[in-house]
Structure 1
Amino acid sequence: MSQPIYWKVPFVWEEPKPLLEVPARLEFKAAKTLSREGLLSVVAQVMESSIDASDRKQVMEQGARQAAEHFLAESQAGFSYQDDWWQIGVNSDDRVVGFIFPVIYQGCAKEGLEEASIYYIGVLPEYRGHGFATDLLLKGTRVLQEVGVWRVFCDTDVNNIPMISTFERVGYQQYSEPWQRPL
């Protein structure tokens, strides 16, 4: 029996480029300012309502909270990051709107610069449709620019049209045709 698959669209941001300007409509704070329960809650809410097939599968099999715990625990596998890189975006009412988790691929440095990725980006369901994903992606990419990267390589589910549009709006380029990933 073959393993189920889904399709992802790969995107790349290549440096050097001018430092990105991040709009000021959200206040960005280190994700570690949330309690563990608070962080799990926002990640679980995003995963539970995600368009991404792998998120939906994990939530269906494990439940949203367990899927979020598992997802966050896997962030150490093949990646490195400093806690301050992981950011939450907070609105003027001091409510979390979303989060961005930039990471560095381990062992992929080139000419003294790192290769990076956006491990996860999410906007809570009640704040979707207002362009906050763009603000979050700008912030995460800016963090990685400041770290010093030669490129940021990421992908998203082919059905996640809002995220595809966000990558394009920020200036990421589609790297290749969509590819298969195990589900």
Structure 2
Amino acid sequence: MSQQTYLKVPFVWEEPKPLIEVPSRLKFKAAKTLDYEVLLSVVAEVMESSIDASDRKQVMERGSREVAEQFLAESKDGFSYRDEWWQIGLSSDDRVIGFVFPVIYQNGAKNGLEEATIYYIGVLPEYRGLGFATDLLLKGTRVLQDVGIWRVFCDADVNNIPMISTFERAGYQQHSEPWQRPL
């Protein structure tokens, strides 16, 4: 593996499965209801403390705000989604805990159902280790179930053990051995 690549572990959620019951610890609201600057700040803070090698490299080179701006601006490149699919997880007293951004792959339909991914999922650093990533992933997957999907295909940096564990807890299956991705 070169310094220009890193390893990702691929995961899949394949339908049909029973509809997910999303835990009620978090309240959810559409990300579009947040002021853009607040959303940008939340995404930047998550990316700044990410375990993902690609995020770390980009943040080191350009800063978390610029990386988050580009990330949000490019969200429709190769994907489609409705604004209400992107969810913010809130505590009972309305503190932002994290977010999940489910999307559909363009040209991934099969038998009238869509292929999807979780474009990004993140928990603010002060709330990590409490299982909120699983709640967010379940919410994002349920949104996609409601859309009508045949598969959700995701991956996690091989060093991001918390995210790998989150996929496993949520019922995702490892799709293959880790593969190299460009940084």
Q: TM-score, normalised by structure 2?
A: 0.98
Q: Deviations over 1:26-69 (max 9, x none)?
A: 00000001111011000000000000000001101110100100
> 2: CA distance between counterparts of 1:112 and 1:37?
37
> 1: CA distance between counterparts of 2:93 and 2:160?
28
Partner of 1:29: 29
Which runs of 5 or more structure 2 residues have no equivalent in the other structure?
A: none
Amino acid at match of 1:138: L
Partner of 1:16: 16
1:76 is paired with a residue whose SS is: coil
Partner of 2:132: 132
> 2: CA distance between counterparts of 1:86 and 1:124?
16
Give the alignment of 1:150-169 within 5 angstroms. 150-169=150-169
Partner of 1:88: 88
Q: Deviations over 1:129-170 (max 9, x none)?
A: 100000000000000000000000000100000000000001
Runs of 4+ in 1 over 3 A off after TM superposition: none
> 1: CA distance between counterparts of 2:7 and 2:72?
22
Partner of 2:66: 66
Alignment length, in residue pairs? 182
Q: TM-score, normalised by structure 1?
A: 0.98
> 1: CA distance between counterparts of 2:33 and 2:62?
26
Partner of 2:113: 113
1:24 is paired with a residue whose SS is: coil
CA-CA distance at 1:3 after TM superposition: 6.8
Which runs of 5 or more structure 1 residues have no equivalent in the other structure?
A: none
CA-CA distance at 1:93 after TM superposition: 1.7
Percent identical among aligned pairs is 82
Over the aligned positions, Cα root-mean-square deviation in angstroms equals: 0.8
Amino acid at match of 2:87: Q
